[in-house]
């Protein structure tokens, strides 16, 4: 069912990942082995395998957390979970209680709520305290037009100089930023898949995307493709989503063969941020991963907290230590060693 919300008390705005259009994207996506338990707002899934989750385990160097499917509220591929519910304790309570009952009936390994920013996670936990908090990632962003530099914003001087130099060099070599939607974006689908999965593998992660999943995102009403084109070739792509004055850079990849001559990411980010004010974007969301690069380039970050609930007695003793190990490992990898295990 759909959790009833009290909009008068809602203080966390919806993101693109809370929209019906994104629910449709994820109903068409095939990259995860899962089935829809409840298609409501927010949707619930019985998750058997996720490359993204496997990437966390591999990155942190921990054993597999789950030995059977887990019931999830939202998907790990959604950068943000249903934070908009957090202030409505009745809605959170109903949602979590129903999910726990479903997990018990399905013999699932409890209930996992994905990717709540700190304040929302803390509010959510007031309504239903989880058995385990785990910070698995950080979402990075910039506010276009803010800060001492009109494009880059708040960036240390040495990195600001380097970033502008890389952008200028790419521009002088004839690199262009191209934005496409619809059929034009789909014409780049194979190259986008190649570059995005190539970047994941380069960083030691599994193949994170497949053709149906990227096609579903690009054909969403909110979807678009940014790509860097050089000498007639696509050398970098970013599958993006635009919603409510925010641009979400959701899935990206770059051709490593051009690194010695071109820096596609700094070029693309500079070009995108430069048009942010004119396009009406209050926020450009740069997503997760590659934490050091994003911090060096002045992106602010929101830690993303996942909340896990046991469905049966004894489960917390099994899965709690595994989730704690994953939390600690991912904090270390991202450059946040010793991060307390609660928002």
156 shares a domain with 114: no
224 shares a domain with 163: yes
- The pLDDT assigned to 6 comes to 36
The CA-atom distances, in angstroms, between 309 and each of 28, 115, 130, 291, 323 are: 27, 14, 5, 28, 11
Strand partners, 230: 233
Q: Give the three-state DSSP class for 159.
A: helix
- The pLDDT assigned to 307 comes to 98
171 shares a domain with 64: no
User: Does 36 map to a domain?
Assistant: yes
User: Number of folded domains in the chain?
Assistant: 2
User: Does 2 map to a domain?
Assistant: no
25 shares a domain with 121: yes
> Which structural domain range is residue 11 located in?
7-138+303-334
319 shares a domain with 220: no
- The pLDDT assigned to 260 comes to 85
314 shares a domain with 245: no
- The pLDDT assigned to 108 comes to 98
pLDDT tens over the chain, length 343 residues? 444 433 334 589 999 999 999 999 999 999 999 999 999 999 999 999 999 999 999 999 999 999 999 999 999 999 999 999 999 999 999 999 999 999 999 999 999 999 999 999 999 999 999 999 999 999 999 999 999 999 999 999 999 999 999 999 999 999 999 999 999 999 999 999 999 999 999 999 999 999 999 999 999 999 999 999 999 999 999 999 999 999 999 999 999 999 889 999 999 999 999 999 999 999 999 999 999 999 999 999 999 999 999 999 999 999 999 999 999 999 999 999 999 999 9
153 shares a domain with 133: no
> Which position has the token pair 């409510």?
244
155 shares a domain with 277: yes
- The pLDDT assigned to 66 comes to 98
Give the Cα separation of 253 and 260 in Å (integer).
16
User: Does 286 map to a domain?
Assistant: no
104 shares a domain with 65: yes
170 shares a domain with 131: no
148 shares a domain with 268: yes
CATH code of the domain covering residue 148: 3.40.630.30
CA dihedral angle for residue 39, residue 190, residue 219, residue 230, rounded to 10 degrees: 140
Work out the number of other CB atoms within 10 angstroms of the CB of residue 214.
Answer: 27
User: Does 41 map to a domain?
Assistant: yes
User: Does 83 map to a domain?
Assistant: yes
Q: Which residues contact 285 (CB under 8 A, 6 or more apart)?
A: 79, 139, 140, 141, 246, 247, 248, 249
Give the Cα separation of 130 and 306 in Å (integer).
9
Task: Evaluate the omega torsion of the peptide bond into residue 42 and state whether it is cis, within 30 degrees of 0.
Answer: yes
User: Does 343 map to a domain?
Assistant: no
Of the candidates 151, 156, 189, 140, the residue with the CA atom closest to the CA atom of residue 289? 140
- The pLDDT assigned to 34 comes to 97
Of the candidates 93, 127, 130, 101, the residue with the CA atom closest to the CA atom of residue 113? 130
User: Does 164 map to a domain?
Assistant: yes
User: Does 261 map to a domain?
Assistant: yes
CA dihedral angle for residue 71, residue 74, residue 78, residue 83, rounded to 10 degrees: -130
Give the Cα separation of 252 and 286 in Å (integer).
10
Q: How many angstroms from the chain centroid is the CA of residue 250?
A: 6
- The pLDDT assigned to 8 comes to 36
Give the Cα separation of 70 and 66 in Å (integer).
7
214 shares a domain with 168: yes
């Amino acid at each position: 069912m759909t959790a009833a919300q009290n909009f008068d008390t809602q203080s966390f705005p919806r993101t693109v990942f809370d929209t019906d259009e994104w629910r449709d994207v994820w109903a068409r996506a095939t990259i995860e082995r899962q089935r829809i338990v409840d298609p409501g707002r927010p949707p619930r899934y019985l998750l058997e395998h996720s490359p993204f989750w496997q990437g966390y385990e591999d990155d942190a160097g921990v054993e597999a957390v789950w030995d059977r499917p887990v019931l999830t509220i939202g998907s790990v591929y959604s950068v943000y979970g249903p934070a908009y519910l957090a202030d409505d304790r009745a809605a959170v309570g109903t949602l979590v209680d129903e999910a726990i009952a479903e997990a018990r009936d399905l013999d699932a390994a409890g209930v996992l709520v994905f990717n709540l920013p700190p304040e929302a996670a803390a509010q959510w936990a007031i309504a239903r305290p989880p058995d385990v908090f785990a910070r698995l990632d950080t979402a990075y962003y910039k506010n276009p037009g803010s800060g001492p530099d009109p494009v880059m914003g708040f960036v240390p001087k040495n990195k600001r100089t380097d970033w502008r130099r890389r952008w200028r060099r790419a521009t002088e070599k004839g690199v262009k930023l191209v934005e496409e939607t619809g059929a034009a974006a789909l014409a780049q689908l194979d190259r986008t898949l190649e570059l995005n999965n190539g970047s994941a593998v380069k960083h030691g992660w599994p193949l994170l995307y497949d053709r149906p999943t990227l096609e579903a995102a690009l054909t969403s009403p909110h979807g678009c493709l940014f790509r860097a084109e050089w000498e007639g070739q696509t050398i970098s792509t970013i599958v993006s989503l635009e919603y409510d004055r925010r641009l979400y850079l959701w899935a990206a990849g770059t051709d490593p063969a051009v690194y010695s001559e071109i820096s596609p990411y700094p070029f693309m980010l500079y070009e995108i941020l430069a048009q942010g004010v004119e396009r009406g974007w209050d926020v450009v969301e740069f997503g997760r991963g590659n934490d050091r690069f994003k911090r060096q380039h002045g992106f602010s970050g929101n830690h993303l907290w996942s909340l896990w609930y046991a469905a049966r007695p004894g489960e917390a003793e099994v899965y709690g230590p595994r989730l704690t190990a994953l939390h600690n490992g991912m904090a270390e990898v991202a450059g946040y060693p010793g991060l307390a295990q609660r928002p």
